[in-house]
Amino acid sequence: VQLVESGGGLVQLGGSLRLSCAASGFTFSSYTMSWHRQAPGKERELVAASGSGGGSTNYADSVKGRFTISRDNAKNTVYLQMNNLKPEDTAVYYCRALGFLGGWSPRINDYWGQGTQVTVSS
C-alpha cells in the first residue's frame, strides 16, 4: 500500500496550491479519503474528507469556502485545492485512506502518506 502526496511548497498569503495523493495497493474507490494537517507543536487535525462514492464531503470550519477536496477513482488519486491561503494554513499535510472490510473477519484498514509541507508566508 502506498499513498504519495505531492504539490506542497512555499506560497504567499492569498495564494493557491493543489495537493495530490496518488494511491496504490488497495481498492481506492471503496475507501474514505481525507486530508489532515499538523502544524509545529499542534495535534494533527482533519482538513477535508471525501466519502468512498465521492458524493459526500466534509471540511474543517477553518477551511470551508477556501479548500476543496475531490477524487478521481479512475486515477486512484485524491486532490486538495487550497485557495486564499493564510499563514495559519502552514503545516505538513497528510493523505489518509480509511476503509472497512466486512465479511467473516471484519476489520478497518487505515493508511497514511508521508506528508507534504505547505508553508504560507505573509
CA 104 and chain centroid, separation: 31
Mean pLDDT along residues 74-95: 98
Closest CA to 71 of 48, 100, 46, 91: 48
User: Cα(21)–Cα(2) distance, rounded to whole angstroms?
Assistant: 10
pLDDT digits (tens, 9 = 90+) for 43-75: 999 999 999 876 799 999 999 999 999 999 999
- Which of 42-46, 84-88, 99-103, 112-116 has the least mean pLDDT? 99-103
Mean pLDDT along residues 96-115: 93
- Please say if the pLDDT value at position 21 is more than 90: yes
User: Cα(90)–Cα(114) distance, rounded to whole angstroms?
Assistant: 16
- Please say if the pLDDT value at position 104 is more than 90: no
